[in-house]
Structure 1
């Protein structure tokens, strides 16, 4: 949930989230979440396809789309999980740039263990836009996905090193 709140504070352009439908069940937060997001049931192929159609309509209306490409959060001690293809396919199909954003402190501030976490700074880094003009899915989706992930992973490693 902190990713969502940090996005709202960081990005000033109008955008809509693509998010997992389970979060809509959280009291109060869920009320606003389901009214501002394109909800996806990650277990349903049909739902995942419907997300693309809904996202395309929103893009055509001038909104940006925010997708967290990890597709979930691992409870394991992984700095950054592998990315799924969806955000990159959408960007290439519409020839719109990818904007990698690093959230450095979310797991430390709000971890999975109820009595852990700590108050403190929540650092955000908005990286340079990655253009998709002229790219095709066949040749560039995997490369774009890996480039985005490496930018964020490298920044997380810098933040981790600086905080210790």
Structure 2
């Protein structure tokens, strides 16, 4: 039954995407001007598909977030549902930085060819281009969402993998706040892409920590990375 549920979820995503495809296809060459339209359509698709198969998202805010500002949003990564969790959290126009394999997916591919930022993590040149584009978006006032572990690990139950350094250097260089988002248990209802364990309806609990900003950004990128990693480790161990 869990594998049937997984298939129903992916079918729901695709079927909800289809009516929006002509609009997105027509606007794809104007995606920079129509950026907010792409963000809004993606939100409708993600949340509607989750709702249809019984995925719910419960958010706890450590501090009220000022969405009049832009952020580098960092989250741990154990499930494909983490993408929808971040879409649910963010009230500001944003782009994902994600693996270039998402370009081949019929749904995510369209967004990663327009508003999102694909990265081939084994290529230094791809990483350089990705973070250059992220810098441009941030300077335009948009937010960036990244999973600093660099992907979903193979351990089950999941463990928090070490964070990559690039996003923290970006935060220090641009003096932009980091918004840590702890996704506590998405893996319990949908681990990774669901291929091994399937999925089931349930609640994904999300904890949005207070932004890291101002004097906390005056330290080096490595120290900032370690500090943010420690926050995630502490909060995940307390769940």
Assess same fold via TM > 0.5: yes
**Structure 1 residues 116-141: Cα deviation after superposition (integer angstroms, max 9, x where no partner):** 443211011110111155845xx521
Partner Cα separation in structure 2 for residue 26 and residue 106 of structure 1: 21
- Is the partner of 2:202 in helix, strand or coil? coil
Partner Cα separation in structure 2 for residue 88 and residue 150 of structure 1: 14
Q: Is the 8 A contact 1:69 1:87 kept in 2?
A: yes
Q: Is the 8 A contact 1:92 1:132 kept in 2?
A: no
Number of the residue aligned with 1:76: 155
Which structure has the larger Rg?
Answer: 2
1:20 paired with 2:99, answer yes
RMSD: 1.8
1:118 paired with 2:200, answer yes
* Aligned counterparts, 1:40-51, within 5 A: 40-51=119-130
Structure with larger RCO (C-alpha < 8 A, sep 6+) = 2
TM value normalised by structure 1: 0.86
Number of the residue aligned with 2:234: 154
Q: Is the 8 A contact 1:102 1:156 kept in 2?
A: yes
Number of the residue aligned with 1:131: 213
Q: CA 1:10 to 1:135, structure 2 compared with 1: closer, same or farther past 3 Å? A: closer
TM value normalised by structure 2: 0.61
Q: Is the 8 A contact 2:92 2:143 kept in 1?
A: yes
Q: Is the 8 A contact 1:99 1:127 kept in 2?
A: yes
Q: Aligned residues, how many? A: 157
Partner Cα separation in structure 2 for residue 33 and residue 119 of structure 1: 28
What is the CA-CA distance between 1:33 and the residue it aligns to? 3.9
Number of the residue aligned with 1:94: 174
Q: CA 1:134 to 1:99, structure 2 compared with 1: closer, same or farther past 3 Å? A: closer
The answer for unaligned runs of 5 or more in structure 2 is: 1-79
- Is the partner of 2:155 in helix, strand or coil? coil
